[in-house]
Structure 1
Amino acid sequence: MPSSNAPAHPPQLPAADVTDDLWRWMGEVALPFWATQGLDPETGLFWERMTADGAPDRAAPRRIRVQARQIYSLAHAAVLGLYPQGTALALGVFDRLLDAAEAPDGAPGFVQALAPDGAVQDATRDAYDHAFLVLAFAWLSKASGAPRVAAALERCLAFVDQGLGAADGSLYESVPRRLPRRQNPQMHWFESVLALMELGHPGAAARAATARRLFDEKLYHRPTRTIGEYFAEDWHPLPDAAARIVEPGHLAEWSWLLRRHDALAGLPPCAEAADLFQAALRWAQPATGLLVDEVDRDGPVLRGTSRIWLQTELVKARLAMAEEGGAAEREAAIAALTTMRDHFLGKPWPAGWIDQLDAAGRPVPGPVPASILYHVFVAVAEAKRIFGMSPV
C-alpha cells in the first residue's frame, strides 16, 4: 500500500498489480486492524469510529448497522480465505450483539443504537439496519455453519416481513414509522436479498424480484435517468426541492446491483444499469474522476465534496462493466481502482482511510468511520473476483 506522499500510479497499471496491492492490504493491514484495535474489549462490540491518530472514539454511540457491516466484512473475508480468523471474531461480536440489541425491551427486532457502555440508546427498529443485519447473518451463517446464526437470520427476516413490510413490497422506514421515505433502505434491502439469492436461501429470488419491481415502478426517474433520495408515504415525489436531490454514488451502486441481479436471475443486461452509470458520471470531477456527494437532478451541484464510499460504488460499477465489456471497460475499472487507492486508502495511518475530500481535493478533517470497511472490502473483493491475482 503506498504511503500518503507516494506518487499516484498511472491509470494503465496492470489490473493484477492493483488487485494484488489492494487484496494484500485488505488481508494483512486493514482487516487485522479493524478486527482487533477496532474492537472494544469491554463491551465486545466494534468501535463506531477512530480518531485521526488511530485511537478509538470512546464517546461515540454504537450504531447497529456498523456492527452488522463489520460482522459481514469479517465473515465474507473468511469465506474467501482472505482472513480465516474472521469467522471466530465475527461470531464473538454476533453473540454480544444479540445479547445487547435484539429485543432488549421484549419487542421483536434489533434496536438502532447502543450507548458507549452497551446500554440501549435508541430503541427504534430501523429498516436500513435490518437490511445490513440480514447481509451479515447470511454471510456469517455461510462462514460458520452455526445453527444459532441461521436462526437469527430467520428471526430477522420474519421481523422485516411482519414489522417493516409494506403492502407494495417495500420496507417502511422504521418502527415507529417516520417520513420521508428514502430509497437508501430499499437499495440495501435489495443488496441483502441478492446475497441471500447468491447463497441459495429459499425464497430469495422472489424477494429480489419484488425489490427490483419497486425500483422499476417507484424509484427510477426515467426522464433524467436518476434515482431520488426522498419520497412521500405513497412513493410520490415530495412537493419541494428535496424531490430533486440525487447522490451520484447511489446511482453507481444501483447500477452495480441491477447488473448483479441480472446475472443471478439469468436476465439480459438491462439498459437502466448503463443509464444510471452514465448519469452518475455527469457529476464526476473533471480532474480526478471522483463523484461529488450531492446534486440536483436538474444539474447543479449541491455538495461538491467527495466521500470515499461514492468512489467504492463507482469502482464496483466500473468492475461490473469490465466483466461484461472489453479492453476499454477494463482500463476504466483499473483507473477507478487506482484513483480510489491513491486518494483515500492507507491514510491517515496504514489501515485507515480519508472519509471525505473537499471540492479542491483536500482531506476534510474528521474521524475515520468504521462503516467504510464494508464499502472498501466489497470493492476489493469484486476486483479480486473479476481480475484475479498475479502468480506469486
Structure 2
Amino acid sequence: MNQLNCTSVRIDELNQHISSVILPVWSTRGFNDALGLPYDRISAPGQPILPTTRYRAMACVRQLYVFSVAGWHNHADRLFESLRTRFLDTTYGGWNYSIDAQGAPKETKKDLYTHAFIVFGCAEYFRHRGTRDALDLLESTLHVIETRFTTHTGLYNAVLSRDFRTVIDGPRQNPIMHLSEAYLSACDARHDTWFFDTLRSIAEQIITKFVHRPTGCITELPIGYSPLRIEPGHQFEWFYLTANKPDIFRHSDLSTWLNSAYMFSLRYGVSPYTGGVCTALNEYGHIIDSNERLWAQTEFCRALTISKTPNFVCKIYNSHISIKIQLSRFKKRFLRDYGWVESITKDSAIVRIDMPSTTPYHIVTMYSALITAYQKI
C-alpha cells in the first residue's frame, strides 16, 4: 500500500473514532440534557464521577463547532440555543465566562478567549447550518470585541471585569491567536474585506509585541515579560493559520518569522523518537515543561498538512514527521476506545486522564485540516 493510501486509512480511522466514540459520548453521558450543555469534563471509565461546579460558554461553543462540522444538526441546534439563552450578560453586554451547576451566572469576567470562540462557533454553525440567528450573534459579539477589548496600541486585552471598565489581564498571544482564527472563519461566512485589513493589522502587532527575534517564535506574553515561555504547539498553530490563508498573510513578515518558529519548535520541541510535542520551551530551546498535551499534537499534524512545510524541514527529521506516522503515533499514544488521554509524559505515562469538553474541537480541527489537504492531492 503506498504512502498516500496508508495516510488515507489513518484519516478514515480518525473519522471513525470521532463519529463512533467522541460524538456519541458527548451527546449522552457528557451532556446535561436538562440544561442543554456539555459537562465541563467527564471521567474515564473506572474513575470516580467528577462533581459538576460550572458550565463554560467556551466549552459550549467549541462543541457547537464539533457537532456542526459532523452534521449532527439537531444536537448543534440545542447547543446554539443553550449558548444564547444561558451565557449572555443582559446587564452589561457580552458573555459571562461560566454558569454554576444550577444555571446561574458564576464567573462573570469578560475574557477575549470566550468572545473569540463565540465568533468562531457562530461562523462555523452558520456555514454548516445556514441559521441567520448565528450571524446576528456573530455581529453583536464582534461589536463587543472591537469596542471593549481593543487597546490603544491596536491589540486586545485578554480579560476585563464584568462591566468592561477594569483590565484584569492585558494582551496575551493565545486569545489573540484564537481571535485571528475566529476572524478567518467569519471572513469566510461574511466575505467582508474588513476582516482582511484587521487580520493584517493583528499580524503586524504580533510581530511588534510578541515575536522573539532570535528564534522567530511567538511568546505567550509580550516581549519584556520574564521568564520567556515558548509553546511549540502554539507556533505550529500560528503557522497553520497563516500559511493556510496566503491571500491574507502572504505579504506579512509574520509568515517569515513563523517559518523560523516552526523550525525552532521542530528542532527542540518535538521528540525525534516518538514525535511527541512538549508543552513549553525557553528561548534557548531547553524544555521547561516536558508533558505532552493532546492539543499540541493536533496542531503539529495541522502544520504538516501545509504543502510547503517540507521545505522548512531538515533532512534529519524527514523520516520522523510524515503525516502517516504522526497519525499512527497519535492513535497509539492518545486515543482510547472510550475517548482519549488528555496529557502524557514523554514516556507515555498518563498525566491527566479526565476528558475536558473543549478537547474534541482540537481533534476535529485536525481532521478537517487533513481532509482539506488530501482533497487537494
> Unaligned 5+ residue runs, structure 2?
162-166
In structure 2, what is the equivalent of residue 71 of structure 1? Answer: 64
- SS class of match (1:213): helix
Which residue, 144, 160, 163 being the options, matches 2:145?
160
In structure 1, what is the equivalent of residue 364 of structure 2? Answer: 377
Residue 147 of structure 1: how far off its partner (Å): 2.2
Q: Give, in whole Å, the separation in 2 of the partners of 1:90 and 1:58.
A: 25
CA contact 1:306–1:356 (8 Å) conserved in 2: yes
- SS class of match (1:178): strand
What do residues 280-309 of structure 1 show as CA deviations (whole Å, max 9, x unaligned)?
111222320211112212232211110111
1:128–1:56 Cα change, 3 Å: farther
TM-score with structure 1 setting the length: 0.85
1:330–1:200 Cα change, 3 Å: farther
Which residue, 217, 226, 239 being the options, matches 2:208?
217
Q: Give, in whole Å, the separation in 1 of the partners of 2:271 and 2:321.
A: 19
Q: Give, in whole Å, the separation in 2 of the partners of 1:171 and 1:34.
A: 32
Q: Give, in whole Å, the separation in 2 of the partners of 1:159 and 1:179.
A: 17
Matched, 1:295 2:288: no
Residue 24 of structure 1: how far off its partner (Å): 2.4
In structure 1, what is the equivalent of residue 240 of structure 2? Answer: 256
In structure 1, what is the equivalent of residue 20 of structure 2? Answer: 28
Structure 1, 132-141 or 171-180: larger mean CA deviation: 171-180
1:143–1:207 Cα change, 3 Å: same
> Unaligned 5+ residue runs, structure 1?
1-9, 78-82
In structure 1, what is the equivalent of residue 82 of structure 2? Answer: 96
In structure 2, what is the equivalent of residue 136 of structure 1? Answer: 121
Q: Give, in whole Å, the separation in 2 of the partners of 1:387 and 1:245.
A: 34
Q: Give, in whole Å, the separation in 1 of the partners of 2:261 and 2:371.
A: 24
Q: Give the letter aligned to residue 68 of structure 1.
A: V
Runs of at least 4 residues off by over 3 Å: 10-13, 54-58, 263-270, 321-331
- SS class of match (1:36): coil
- SS class of match (1:198): helix
Matched, 1:43 2:31: no
CA contact 2:217–2:257 (8 Å) conserved in 1: no
Matched, 1:229 2:216: no
Matched, 1:87 2:73: yes
TM-score with structure 2 setting the length: 0.88
Superposed counterparts of 1:1-392, under 5 Å: 14-53=6-45, 57-75=50-68, 77=69, 83-84=70-71, 86-104=72-90, 106-176=91-161, 177-179=167-169, 181-202=171-192, 203-231=194-222, 236-238=223-225, 240-241=226-227, 244-263=228-247, 270-281=255-266, 282-321=268-307, 332-345=322-335, 347=336, 349-350=337-338, 352-388=339-375
Structure 1, 273-282 or 108-117: larger mean CA deviation: 273-282
Q: Give the letter aligned to residue 66 of structure 1.
A: A
1:199–1:69 Cα change, 3 Å: same
Structure 1, 174-183 or 249-258: larger mean CA deviation: 174-183
The count of aligned residue pairs is: 363
Q: Give, in whole Å, the separation in 2 of the partners of 1:158 and 1:188.
A: 17
Q: Give the letter aligned to residue 127 of structure 1.
A: L
Residue 368 of structure 1: how far off its partner (Å): 1.0
Residue 70 of structure 1: how far off its partner (Å): 0.6
Q: Give the letter aligned to residue 298 of structure 2.
A: T
Residue 58 of structure 1: how far off its partner (Å): 4.1
Q: Give the letter aligned to residue 140 of structure 1.
A: Y
What do residues 63-111 of structure 1 show as CA deviations (whole Å, max 9, x unaligned)?
2211111111212x1xxxxx32x2221221221222111014x111001
